[in-house]
Amino acid sequence: MDCQKVGRLILSLRKEKNMTQKDLADLMNISDKTISKWERGLGCPDVSLLSELSKSLGVNIEKILLGELDPNEENRGNMKNINFYVCQSCSNIITSTGSTSISCCGRILEPMLSNIENDEHQITVDEIEDDYFIKIQHEMSRDHYIAFIAYISYDRVLIVRLYPEQAAEVRFPKMYGGTLYTYCNRHGLWKHEKTKRRTRRIN
Ligand SMILES: [Zn+2]
Ligand SMILES: [Zn+2]
């Protein structure tokens, strides 16, 4: 651990939060002399204090140890780069439009790589009035089912969660362009880029 670097990071994060050394010390139930010592690079925070320090400053422990935040280049959230994360323990669904570090239920989540649609995971899209009616021929049993269908356009993310025993279909408002994704709990993420769109007449 580079105590000089760590100290500079603590100082800048504390200032960002408009806290005095005493404020931070009180929050952590330690003496302000300790904070002062860290910030001058005269010592690194003890391991037992890292969790409290990370909560107080709102950064990951890992970043404190590195002494820098390592921010992304600004990407203005290009939706084409969207990543999906699903927690295998609690089924939490998370999306991000830039690189990020995400953990859930104590485990680090990796962005899912998408598969190209195959026969078993093929969707049909019908245009009905102002909607897309999306259907996937896929079983919906408890151990093997489509857990969500997502529609990503240039400016929005729509996710519809599905449950076992329910029909694997969803209606989305028609939007210009966009990509559809489906997520199967057993086979992962599927990208449906060049889906034929049929117009169905309703009488
Ligand atoms: Zn979780
Ligand atoms: Zn499947």
Is the pLDDT at 203 greater than 50? The verdict is no
The ligand whose atoms approach the alpha carbon of 168 most closely is 2
C-alpha–C-alpha distance, residues 163 and 98, integer Å: 28
Contact 140, 168 (CB under 8 A): yes
Q: How far is the CA of 171 from the centre of ligand 2 (A)?
A: 20
Q: What is the pLDDT of residues 148-201, one digit of tens each?
A: 999 998 888 999 999 999 999 999 988 877 899 999 999 999 998 755 566 555
What is the C-alpha to C-alpha distance for residues 56 and 43, in angstroms, rounded to an integer? 19
Separation between Cα atoms, residue 11 and residue 46, nearest integer Å: 16
Ligand 1 center to residue 90 CA distance, Å? 4
Alpha carbons 98 and 9: distance in angstroms, whole number: 23
Cα(38)–Cα(28) distance, rounded to whole angstroms? 14
Q: Which of 152, 156, 162 is nearest to 192 (CA)?
A: 152
Residue 33, SS3 per DSSP: helix
Q: How many Cβ atoms from other residues are within 10 Å of residue 177's Cβ?
A: 7
Q: Which two tokens stand for residue 124?
A: 């049909």
Contact of 97 with 72, CB cutoff 8 Å: no
Looking at the CA of 144, which ligand is closest? 2
Confidence class for position 77, pLDDT limits 50, 70, 90: low
H-helix or E-strand spanning residue 95: strand 93-96
- How many A from CA of 193 to the centre of ligand 1? 29
Which backbone phi and psi does 78 adopt, to 5 degrees? -55, 120
Give all domains of the chain, ordered by start, each with its CATH number.
3-66 (1.10.260.40), 79-109 (no CATH), 115-201 (2.60.40.730)
Task: Looking at the CA of 91, name the nearest ligand.
Answer: 1
Token look-up 């970043």 returns: 63
DSSP class per residue in 160-178: EE--TTS-SEEEEE--SS-
118-157: pLDDT as tens digits = 888 999 999 888 899 999 989 999 999 999 999 998 888 9
Identify which ligand lies nearest to the alpha carbon of 104: 1
